Amino acid sequence: MNRLRDKRVLMAVGLVAVLTLTLVLPAISPESATTNMAVFTLMYVGLATAWNIMGGYTGYISLGHAGFFGFGAYALGLLLARLSIAGGYAPFLFVPVAGLLTGLMAAGVGWFALRTRAATFVIVTIAFMFMLQLLAENLTSLTGGGAGLGFPNPPWRGDFFNIPFYYAMLALAVLGLAVSWSIRRSKFGLGLLAIRDDEDKALAVGVPARAFKLTAFVISATLVGMIGSVYGYYVTFIYPQFVVDPLIGISMVLMVFLGGLGTLWGPVLGAVILEPAQLWLAYNYGASRLYLVLYSAVFLLVILLMPRGIIPSVRDLIAERRASAPAARAGAAP
Amino acid sequence: MSLLQVDHLSKRFGGVVAVDDCTLSIPAGGITGLIGPNGSGKTTIFNLITGFIAMDEGRITFKSELIDGLGPDRVYERGIGRTFQLARIFPRLTALENLLVPVRRSGLRALFSGAGWSDERSKAMEMLEFLEISQVAGALGGSLSYGQRKLLELGAVMMAGPELVLLDEPAGGVNPALLERIADRLRTLNSRGTTFLIVEHNMSFVMNLCSEVIVVHRGRQIASGKPDAVRSDPAVLDAYLGA
């Protein structure tokens, strides 16, 4: 009991320390190269956490979440244009609206997509993403098509430019983690994990699997849409092929697999490892997409060495050591 | 008055008639055995009652309400639980969590709130103690022995207090000592008000436990009654031993 309490206290202290450090990071290191890296890392922390709510908890692997990311970006861009909102802090107020619109769209997509399971679901989500990309390219009067869609210019200059986006991404990452944490400890979350283990069995004990999956899908997409909308405002100009980019979807999936599928902190760990590495490669070797080689290598290593990801593998290792320690002591006793 | 009434139920899989105009009546408060040779349609009848597969024809009423066309989760919500031929549990959840999964009459608040779990946890622990597997409460379902899984599956289905439980081969693959424990627990649960319908091949288990036995052959009911009467029924002997 004491051990459990100590562990919880230690975790709470660690969490407060990490959060404090994250809050003051722009003050410690305000250079735009650093804060830009931090903005993208936090973006992927949020994206991977949001994806994990669907993919990790229910086991339904969606490779189409980049569609929600792009939809959120277009939703905010169009809202700001239609409402003639100028650059500044005001666009951030419309981020939840972009998320809500994305959630509504996800409800429609999920209604059909979640009639399928396993590989079919994966294919349906990919098809949805490419459909959305095609729509963004072809609905030129609405989205600007290949010419892109512009956002109002943020008024900030120099090193400060990234700071509002940094805190917006931090808020969304914390929101995603809070949602993920509360789902994980609820009966709804347990139902999602049961669906992941055996959907038919879950149905047999009353879990309304379709409603649960759809709810998780919509929550996940809403968070991704909100993050996509902040990204759109950050880059100020969005194009279909870059904002509805399969690589964004694959990145969030890979981060979750690396850190630990279905765990709370796995997606965070995966994002914190992979995104800075990807940006480092981009800074040092140009826009060569060399990071794709890194991603492939990481994916292969994860599948071969730690199919459950870092956190579950380390947890298992610690449990094994703890279990074997008393046995070893008993063996050494005279 | 029967608790479950199945009338003229039929199901075909392509050219194979799995259930053929079958009519069954399950009285409330008893333990009824559903027996028949391999391939006689017993598990298909379970799947039809619990909404896992759709019937071609017929009607199913539970507590005088029509339940055909409902999905498995809605059937469970109405009060019918089931187990599977091969014990199915959630392997990556702990034994305790396995018992916390069942959902019946849960409001939205109860589903999304982390609070209010203590009552359910206490109830789950009581169930594990009742089944004599409380020592594995924190162990992952996948690490349990087959016998423990069988007990855990029974415990999970009982958690939300269903009025009728359909057990598909509860004695299958279980050692004699555990078999006796399962039979004992089923009698206790039955005495507390749960009605059971059991598909089983172990005849001594069925004859000792069940108050009524229904025999199906080629998807139809061919006999029903007290175990002793059914055992000597010529149609039953013919189905099991005949050509």
- Taking the model in full, what pTM does it have? 0.91
pLDDT tens digits along B179-207? 999 999 999 999 999 999 999 989 999 99
pLDDT at B18: 95
Tell whether the model's pLDDT for residue B232 goes beyond 80: yes
Residue with tokens 């046995």: A327
pLDDT at B243: 45
**Using CA atoms, how far apart are residues B195 and B81, in angstroms rounded to an integer?**
10
Write out B71-94 in H/E/C secondary structure. CHHHHHHHCEEECCCCCCCCCCCE
**How many residues are listed for chain B in this entry?**
243
Alpha-carbon separation of residue A106 from A78, A277, B139, B146 (angstroms): 18, 31, 37, 41
Q: Which contacts qualify for B68-73: CB closer than 8 Å, 24 or more apart?
A: B71/A203, B72/A200, B72/A203, B72/A204, B73/A203, B73/A206, B73/A207, B73/A208, B73/A209, B73/B103
B157: which chain A residues are within 8 Å (Cβ-Cβ)? 204-205
Q: Between chains, do A186 and B92 touch, taking CB under 8 Å as contact?
A: no
Task: Give the end-to-end CA distance of chain A in Å, rounded to a whole number.
Answer: 31
Write out chain B in H/E/C secondary structure. CEEEEEEEEEEEECCEEEEEEEEEEEECCCEEEEECCCCCCHHHHHHHHCCCCCCCEEEEEECCEECCCCCHHHHHHHCEEECCCCCCCCCCCEHHHHHHCCCCCCCHHHHHCCCCCHHHHHHHHHHHHHCCCHHHCCCEHHHCCHHHHHHHHHHHHHCCCCCEEEEECCCCCCCHHHHHHHHHHHHHHHHCCCEEEEECCCHHHHHHHCCEEEEEECCEEEEEECHHHHHCCHHHHHHHHCC
Residue A167 near residue A105, CB atoms below 8 Å = no
Q: Between chains, do B73 and A187 touch, taking CB under 8 Å as contact?
A: no
Indicate the Cα dihedral angle A58, A59, A63, A66, nearest 10°.
30
Mean predicted confidence (pLDDT) in B225-243: 83
Structure tokens at B93: 């959840």
pLDDT tens digits along A184-214? 999 999 999 999 999 999 999 999 999 999 9
Q: Between chains, do B73 and A186 touch, taking CB under 8 Å as contact?
A: no
**Using CA atoms, how far apart are residues B71 and B76, in angstroms rounded to an integer?**
9
Nearest to B187 by CA among B3, B28, B29, B5: B29
pLDDT at A148: 94
Q: Residue A141: which residues within 8 A CB-CB, separation 6 or more? A: none
pLDDT tier, A287 (very low <50, low <70, confident <90, very high otherwise): low
* DSSP code of residue A132: H
Residue with tokens 């008055």: B1
With b meaning 16 or more CB within 10 Å and e meaning fewer, what string describes A25-48? Answer: bbeeeeeeebbbbbbbbbbbbbbb
Q: Residue A146: which residues within 8 A CB-CB, separation 6 or more? A: A137, A140, A239, A240
Strand partners, B65: B62
Mutate to test the interface with A, among B73, B96, B121 (most CBs of A within 10 A): B73
Beta strands in chain A (DSSP E): 149-150, 237-238
pLDDT tier, A292 (very low <50, low <70, confident <90, very high otherwise): confident
pLDDT at A334: 43
Closest residue to B103, CB basis, from A182, A193, A207: A207
**How many residues are listed for chain A in this entry?**
334
Report A:43-82 residues touching B (Cβ under 8 A): none
Residue A197, chain B, CB below 8 Å: the answer is: yes
Residue B53, chain A, CB below 8 Å: the answer is: no
Three-class DSSP category at A294 = helix
Residue A307, chain B, CB below 8 Å: the answer is: no
Q: Between chains, do B114 and A186 touch, taking CB under 8 Å as contact?
A: yes
Structure tokens at B176: 């004699």
Higher pLDDT, A303 or A127: A127
Closest residue to A197, CB basis, from B91, B103, B156: B91
Window from A174-178, A301-305, B34-38, B168-172 with minimum mean pLDDT: A301-305
Alpha-carbon separation of residue B104 from A203, A208, A312, B8 (angstroms): 11, 10, 31, 29
Closest residue to A193, CB basis, from B93, B102, B117: B93
pLDDT tens digits along A87-122? 999 999 999 999 999 999 999 999 999 999 989 999
Structure tokens at B184: 């004992």
Would the CA dihedral through B182, B183, B189, B194 be positive or negative?
positive
Residue A52 near residue A261, CB atoms below 8 Å = yes
Q: What percent of chain A has pLDDT over 90?
A: 77
Three-class DSSP category at A238 = strand
Q: Between chains, do A205 and B103 touch, taking CB under 8 Å as contact?
A: yes
Mean pLDDT estimate for chain B:
91
Residue B17's Cβ-side half-sphere holds a number of Cα atoms within 13 Å equal to 11
**Using CA atoms, how far apart are residues B46 and A256, in angstroms rounded to an integer?**
39
B78: which chain A residues are within 8 Å (Cβ-Cβ)? none
pLDDT at B242: 62
Residue B61 near residue B94, CB atoms below 8 Å = no
Tell whether the model's pLDDT for residue A333 goes beyond 50: no
Residue B131 near residue B159, CB atoms below 8 Å = no
Structure tokens at B204: 């001594």
pLDDT at B61: 97
Tell whether the model's pLDDT for residue B113 goes beyond 60: yes
Residue A224 near residue A243, CB atoms below 8 Å = no
Closest-approach residue (CA) in chain A for B89: A201
Mean predicted confidence (pLDDT) in B110-129: 82
pLDDT at A317: 86
Residue B214's Cβ-side half-sphere holds a number of Cα atoms within 13 Å equal to 23
Residue with tokens 């004699």: B176
| Order of strands, sheet of B2-13, starting from the edge strand that comes earlier in the sequence | B16-27, B2-13, B57-62, B65-66
Amino acid, single-letter form, for residue B44: T
